[in-house]
Chains A and B, each alone.
Chain A
Amino acid sequence: MKRAAAGADPAAPRLVLTGITKHYPAVVANDGIDLSVAPGEIHAVLGENGAGKSTLMKIIYGMVRPDAGRIAVDGVPVTIAGPAAARALGIGMVFQHFSLFETLTVADNIALALRAGVSRRALGRRIRDVSRQYGLPLDPARYVHTMTVGERQRVEIVRCLLQDPRLLIMDEPTSVLAPPAVAQLFATLRTLAAEGVSILYISHKLDEIRALCERATVLRAGRVTGECDPRRETVASLARMMIGRDLPHPRHAAATPGATVLAVDRLTLAAQDPFGVALDSVSLAVRAGEIVGIAGISGNGQRELVAAITGERTVPRADAVRIDTTPVGRLDADARRALGMAYVPEERIGRAAIPVMSLAENALLTAHRQGLVARGFIRRPAMRAFAQRVIAAFGVRAAGPDAVAESLSGGNLQKFIVGREMQQAPRVFVAAHPTWGVDVGAAAQIRQALVDLRDRGVAVLVTSDELDELFEISDCIAVMAGGRLSPPMPARETSAEAVGLLMAGPRTDAREAA
């Protein structure tokens, strides 16, 4: 039973946006955006990072007030004062980053979001009903911290569905899911759409949009640059609408690997905090001139493995991690860099780069061995020149070496960080989610740079949630699930289905059966 706004016209589109404009200091995030979503339609909003997708969704969900433009729900003009008002209008949103309390149960988390007055038993029953109805198995009494990321997303979705939404906004929902879970999610969304719920689906994964959505609105630089039926488009044509030019494809010849440069030998490591993952006898070898990809749903130990390999976390047994034949397990990150390691972590701001420092100073952070320091003194001209070289070599759009890191867009900062690490002539290159949240143009450039690095004889290790990316660049793929690493498989001889099954892992199967 779906509520309708007073005076609603049943034939009107569920949502109509007209001329939505939002200025931020220095940027126009949305510039006269028109969008219309019919009841029961799955509508994609497509765009590069910074194209204005998030701002638009925040406007619809009442978190941001537009400077100009009109919103109509079911034909009735509305002003959405906040998320509560949006929910009252039947608008629900599932965020990319979850807002769940890990130390509470599923039912507690959902009760917090609902209005008071529902008894806990009735709520538990409703959670079970809704989750069964939409194929989202969920135990209301489970604690959130024991759940996988996919299961947590179910909590978010069920929490939304309990409020009987008529328009559901999904922000990059598949970035945390294994392929079988993606198929399950799509089935759920199609069921909802068949019941008349409209869905706004935000993503940059073009394949998924072609598989799921009936209509797509493409944004570029805050404006609508196209509207289409994605089922009739190709990935290439969608990408062209999104970035305004053709998408380059990485050149990828067969690898000719040399000797093992990076070795991990039966690495077992306890979890550092209650929500961390323990590593269970992980072994791995990366040879010169090959790219090894590590697939897995995030939160299965990739983060812990990368930290142990790069020295962000030291391990008690020095021999468990080796560069060439040197045991490095007890060395810190800087000492491992001295042996030829370079590393792009998953977080850009605050980890790979200091937001308030200039690009030149951010170059100094890891590249101080490249002649940027002499007898303990910083050589400022050399530091600026190094940053300038990175900017030029990777086409970083920045005002220059003195630009502050936080003034760059996510994709440009990532290019700078990747470039900074590559310019240090590494022998081992570790990249965690190197294209996460980066627009397709920059992502293609980063992938090509990784392949070029491999061709120069560097041992490259990449972890990623995105299977397509790993298959595109990797020579070998291994899968991480529950803190264990599968044996590596040659990428050309395996399939996404096989990897996807391993990603789901035996642990998740057991849970879903329970």
Chain B
Amino acid sequence: MLRFEARPAPSRLATLLSPLIATLATVVAGVVLFAALGHAPLRALAAFFVQPLATRYGVGEWVLKASPLALIAVGLAAGYRANVWNIGAEGQLTVGAIAAGGLALAFDGTTSPLLLPAMFVAGAAGGMAWAAIPALLRTRFRASEILTSLMLVYIASLWLQLLVHGAWRDPEGFNFPQSKLFGAAALLPVIVPDTRVNAAVLLTLAVVAAAWVFMQRRHAGFEMRVAGLAPAAANYAGIPESQTVWRGMLIGGACAGLAGVGEIAGPIGQLMPSVSPGYGFTAIIVAFVGRLNPLGIVFASLLMSLLYLGGEAAQLTLALPSAVSGLFQGTLLFFLLAADVFIHYRLVRVRAVPAGAA
């Protein structure tokens, strides 16, 4: 008989191996799934994991999708490590895009090199403002930020739709609900030829590095980790809960807002009724798959991005239903959580013992 036994200390080896084991188990589950659907499993796996990266353009798309995921996830992770549960990054991204897009439209036609930096500032400020609402409600009225931040996602989305259907609709856009295309001064330069990879990727890398420094080397980051690991210790040391909530929400909001700017000033190039395919929600998964660690988040965002692209490729070449992509993501998360058990527990063989007393 096998039984789980608590390890005296968390296993470092299991911490490192757990994502690999989970990925392998997901692949095995995928083989079974594809075989059951009547597809050659190896061809399907190739469609998922190899085909999207077969071209230079494909690799560019991979990085382009991973970048906003990583950017949002490192911001969320700062809050999550402090038990601040910002679920509304999608809404903060949207408001960031609205703020930056408004600026781009207001200064349409300018050639000033300051427009793009100003858009990023506006985007970060917009994301922070949207995140400040749940922070205020939590610190003033003890309202759960999980609920309020999530509800604000839908409000932000409706504001964006109102704007692109109304005030900001392109007058020459044949009544399509979208804004004018942004001018050149409001668009990010492409940094790798023959791809759509733009300068936002550099910003993401800079933010990831800054997040690591903040959490590991800054006293403020230490205080947030303490608040997450032991709230009673934070109170004992005089780290105010409200300060932790504000920091966590604002960092998450700023990063999501920046990601929103990266989308509209990058691949999209204008405001549309939706400016994100759910990056703000997927980033929550990315943050946890990356163990709330900046470097881990970079890998997790690449993995999640590949699953998106693979899902699309599988739809195109194998005519698999789009639900398969979601199923794959869910399977991966499931195995990841299951593999995590081995970090704190190990399997031991126990001899059968006679039950009951004499």
Residues of A within 8 A of B (CB): 5, 24-26, 65, 76-81, 85-86, 88-89, 311-312, 332-337, 343, 345, 347, 350-357, 361, 364-366, 368, 373, 376-378, 404, 407
Q: Could you name 25 residue pairs across A and B whose Cβ atoms are closer than 8 Å?
A: A76-B358, A79-B353, A79-B357, A81-B357, A332-B240, A333-B235, A333-B236, A334-B237, A343-B236, A347-B232, A350-B232, A350-B233, A351-B232, A351-B233, A354-B226, A354-B229, A357-B226, A365-B226, A366-B237, A368-B219, A376-B218, A376-B220, A377-B218, A378-B217, A378-B218
Name the residue on A nearest B235 (C-beta): A312
A332 touching B238 in the complex, CB below 8 Å, given contacts A350-B232, A354-B229: yes
Which parts of B77-120 form the interface with A (CB within 8 Å)? none
Judged by a CB distance under 8 angstroms, whether B146 is at the interface is: no
Given contacts A26-B8, A333-B235, A352-B233, contact A378 B222 (CB under 8 A): yes
Q: Is the CB of A335 within 8 A of B236?
A: no
Given that A357-B229, A378-B218 are known contacts, is A88 also in contact with B235, CB under 8 Å in the complex?
no
In the complex, which residue of chain B has the Cβ closest to the Cβ of A27? B8
B6 → chain A closest CB, angstroms: 9
8 Å CB interface, B217-274 against A? 217-220, 222, 225-226, 229-230, 232-233, 235-240
The CA-CA distance from A220 to B239 in the complex, in Å, is 40
Chain B contacts of A76 at CB under 8 A? 358
Q: Give complex CA distance A355, B8 in Å.
A: 13
Assess whether B238 is in contact with A78, with CB atoms less than 8 Å apart. Answer: no
Beyond A376-B218, A378-B222, whether A25 also contacts B236 by CB under 8 A is no
Q: Is B56 an interface residue (CB 8 A)?
A: no
A350 — nearest CB in chain B belongs to which residue? B230
Among candidates B8, B239, B355, B358, residue contacting A334 with C-beta atoms closer than 8 Å:
B239
Which of A334, A355, A404 has the most CB atoms of chain B within a 10 A radius of its CB?
A334
Cβ B358 vs Cβ A79 within 8 A = yes
Q: Are A361 and B238 in contact (CB under 8 A)?
A: no
Contact (Cβ within 8 A) A361 B233: no
Contact A354 B230 (CB under 8 A): yes
What chain B residues lie within 8 Å of A5 (beta carbons)? Answer: 358
Query: Please, which residues of chain B bring their CB within 8 A of the CB of A85?
Result: 356-357
- Rounded to whole angstroms, the CA-CA distance of A332 and B8 in the bound complex is 36
Is B357 a contact partner of A89 (Cβ separation < 8 A)?
yes
A401 shortest CB reach to chain B, Å: 15
- Verify if B9 is at the interface (C-beta below 8 Å from A): yes
User: Cα distance A373–B222 when bound, in Å?
Assistant: 11
- Residues 129-164 of chain B, each 1 if its beta carbon lies under 8 Å from chain A, else 0: 000000000000000000000000000000000000
B38 at interface, CB cutoff 8 A: no
Query: How far, in Å, is B20 (CB) from chain A's closest CB?
Result: 23
**With A65-B353, A364-B222 as given contacts, are A355 and B230 in contact (CB-CB < 8 Å)?**
yes
Please give, as numbers and ranges, the residues of chain B lying within 8 Å of A407 by CB-CB distance.
Answer: 9
How big is the B interface, by class? 20 to 34
Give complex CA distance A333, B238 in Å. Answer: 4
Contact of A78 among B226, B355, B358 (CB under 8 A): B358
Provide the bound-state CA to CA distance between A376 and B220, in Å. 7
* Nearest opposing residue in chain A for B356, CB measure: A81
Query: Cα distance A76–B235 when bound, in Å?
Result: 54
The answer to whether B219 and A336 have CB atoms under 8 Å apart is: no
User: In the assembly, what is the distance between CA of A77 and CA of B9, in Å?
Assistant: 36
* Chain B CB within 10 A, most for which of A78, A347, A378: A378
Known: A351-B236, A352-B236, A356-B229. 4 other contacts (CB 8 A): A312-B236, A333-B238, A365-B233, A404-B9
Q: In the complex, are the beta carbons of B240 and A78 less than 8 A apart?
A: no
Give B295 Cβ to nearest chain A Cβ, in Å. Answer: 19
A80 to B355, CA, bound (A): 9
A80 touches B236 (CB 8 A): no
Task: Kindly state whether residue B354 has any CB partner on chain A within 8 Å.
Answer: yes
Q: How far is the CB of B83 from chain A (nearest CB, A)?
A: 13
Report the Cα distance A171→B270, complex, angstroms: 71
The CA of A351 and the CA of B8, in the complex, are separated in Å by 21
Shortest CB-to-CB span from A306 to chain B, Å, is 11
A335 touches B356 (CB 8 A): no
CA distance A376 to B214 in the complex (A): 10
A345 to B218, CA, bound (A): 26
Chain A residue at minimum C-beta to C-beta distance from B231? A350
Are B357 and A377 in contact (CB-based, < 8 A)?
no
Give the distance in Å from the alpha carbon of A335 to the alpha carbon of B237 in the complex: 10
Closest to B354 in A: A79
Whether the pair B353, A365 counts as a contact (CB closer than 8 A) is no
Instruction: Point out which of B7, B225, B232 has the most chain A C-beta atoms below 10 A from its C-beta.
Output: B232
Q: How far is the CA of A335 from the CA of B243 in the complex (A)?
A: 14
CB of B292, distance to nearest CB on chain A (Å) = 14
Q: Chain B, 327-358, contact with A by CB distance < 8 Å: what is the 0/1 string?
A: 00000000000000000000000000111111
Chain A residues whose C-beta falls within 8 Å of the C-beta of B235 in the assembled complex: 312, 333
A21 → chain B, closest Cβ, in Å? 16
Question: What A residues does B355 contact at CB under 8 A?
Answer: 81
**What residues of chain A lie closer than 8 Å to B7, measured between beta carbons?**
25
| Cα separation A336 to B236 with both chains bound (whole Å) | 11
From the candidates A65, A337, A347, A373, name the one contacting B219 in the complex (CB within 8 A): A373
Residues of chain B contacted by A81 (CB below 8 angstroms): 353, 355-357
- Which B residues lie within 8 Å of A347 (CB)? 232
Residues on A with C-beta less than 8 A from B237 are 333-334, 365-366
Chain A contacts of B218 at CB under 8 A? 376-378
| Complex-state Cα separation, A86 to B217, whole angstroms | 53
A376 CA to B237 CA, complexed, in Å = 17
Contact at B219–A378, with CB atoms within 8 Å? yes
